[in-house]
Amino acid sequence: MTKSGSMSGKVALVTGAGSGLGKAMAAKFADAGARVIVNDMRDAGQRVADEIGGAFMKADLSSMGETRELCKRALDAEGRVDVLVNNAGYQHMSPVDEFPDEVWARMVQVMLVAPFQLTKYLLPEMKSAGWGRIINISSIHGLVASPFKSAYIAAKHGLVGLTKTTAIEVGEHGVTVNAICPGFSRTPLVEAQVADQARLNDMTEEQVETDIMLAGAAIKKLIEPEEIASLAFFLASDDARSITGATYAIDAGWTAR
């Protein structure tokens, strides 16, 4: 059993864990005693792994082959993965009729096809063990849309659907599957967007946060990565053993309107 506050003896794989939300979640699981596999396409993942006492497995999830190989390497190294956190992602903005085909397809591969592959190849060991947790990091844009983000929104909506379908299929095997839909969080990706918007609109970064990014939010503050890590940790605990197929918005009230 994995009680709240302990992940001792469990193996967790967190994708896109070189910074931001992934780094916070990897650290949270490691602090609770889990053996954490840090995945990232950048060498920053090695630094995170060193900091938390985990293992770094470099892989570019835009490649179906590298994604399959990541599964094989994880299973060869640890024998199983108990907790899978599908977190890797990135953003590109363009109108639909101008969106480059290759960029669109690559984004969907990273944020939807790769999570499917990881789920597919790691599920058999979870089912055999009678215990597993899959946590998909979607987005508020997995629930609602904004202009110029068609690839990101299509992938994140699809990830919510994958969450629900997989949950129905594997519930009888002791495996739960849930999605977290964060709002704007204090990550390097969002902070870079804030800085760009500040330059383009001749505004301070604080004005960009409150007047543009958080205009629709009830709480005018960026969400801290540790808040999302705490929710992911709860969903991985046995306290959440009856929660599956659920979608949790943690967005400061952004989607409440």
Q: Where are the domains of the chain?
A: 11-185+223-250, 187-222
- Three-state DSSP class for 50? helix
Closest CA to 181 of 140, 134, 218: 140
Strands (E), 75-207: 83-86, 132-137, 175-182
The pLDDT tens digits for 82-128 are 999 999 999 999 999 999 999 999 999 999 999 999 999 999 999 99
Cα–Cα nearest to 135, from 152, 119, 124: 119
Helix, strand or coil for residue 109?
A: helix
Q: Which helix (H) or strand (E) holds 72?
A: helix 64-78
pLDDT, position 188: 85
**According to the model, what pLDDT value does residue 201 have?**
87
pLDDT of residue 1: 40
Q: Give the fold, CATH level 3, of 11-185+223-250.
A: Rossmann fold (3.40.50)
Structure-block tokens of residue 115:
């999570």
- CB proximity list for 158: less than 8 A, separation 6 or greater: 108, 112
**Phi, psi of 177, deg, nearest 5:** -135, 120
Residues of the chain with pLDDT under 50: 1-3
pLDDT at 191: 85
Q: Give per-residue pLDDT as tens, 228-255.
A: 999 999 999 999 999 999 999 999 999 9
Catalytic positions:
152
